[in-house]
Amino acid sequence: MNIMEKGFVIVKPEGFRFLKQLETTIIQEGYFIEEVFFIHDWGLLARNIYRQDWLNLKSTPADLDAKLWITKFFFGNHGLAMIISKNKQYENDKDFIHYGHKIKKSFRLFSSDQVDNAVIIAINLDSLNFIKLQEYHAANESQFSSKRYSHLNQIISKAGYWTRCRFTLIHAPDPKIENVRREWKILIELGIISDNNRISAKHWEFMKTYQCPILPSELHNDHSILKIDRHAPLN
């Protein structure tokens, strides 16, 4: 099977805290982790992936820049690309497009992303001089970049163009063939899917235990192959 016809999930910098839970979700959904690759620069990958959202007017570059800035401040800029396979035979030739999306939905049901919005981070984009705003808003007025955040206007204390930062832990392409193949192409063209970035079983266990990434320079002396027992009891 062509590598671009396999499902995948991307772990964002904030997602390293939940690798055990993510693995549990993957197994419970009837899938298994085939390979894991290290992502050196999540910000670069994110800008390539979410450029499609700008074209479709779902978000703006300024919103993404602010979220990447705050994510890097709290969690760093590393990530993981997890290649997902199914225990059983394909139900149809296009079944792979649903792997990542299904896992993403199931995982977020019990991840911190759903904990009553206990923490809301609102960022005034006008105050970040390194972010270039393409949008315009009325002077001396407060405005969120997205209407879906308008209910947060009550927390605004200063006029400006605001965005909300949410930590969604993982990314998976929307279940459309063109989206899966486009993002696979990005992973390959950025050199993420390569032997140099492959995570060994030893380092995978380390990252799950200590909830943090291991830099690629530490990976090259360990060439064991990642193998996960699909029938092992879940911890």
pLDDT bin (cut points 50, 70, 90) of residue 104 is confident
- CA atoms 220, 221, 223, 226: torsion sign: negative
Residue 164 in contact with residue 121, Cβ under 8 Å?
Answer: yes
pLDDT averaged over every residue in the chain:
78
Dist. CA 88–CA 86, nearest whole Å? 5
Q: pLDDT at position 171, please?
A: 93
Mind listing the pLDDT tens digit for each residue in 116-149?
555 678 888 888 877 776 655 555 566 676 666 6
Q: pLDDT at position 224, please?
A: 44
**Threshold 0.75, pTM exceeds:** yes
Q: pLDDT at position 227, please?
A: 43
Q: Which range is most confident: 62-76, 78-92, 148-162?
A: 62-76
53, amino acid identity: D
Q: At residue 217, does pLDDT exceed 60?
A: no
Dist. CA 113–CA 104, nearest whole Å? 11
Q: Which residues pair with 35 in a beta bridge?
A: 83
* DSSP string for 22-70: HHHHHHHTTEEEEEEEEES-HHHHHHHHHHHHHHTTSS-HHHHHHHHHH
Which of 211, 202, 205 has the alpha carbon at shortest distance from 169?
211
Dist. CA 101–CA 9, nearest whole Å? 8
Mind listing the pLDDT tens digit for each residue in 5-21?
678 999 999 999 999 99
Domain residue ranges in the chain = 3-40+78-111+169-218, 60-75+117-167
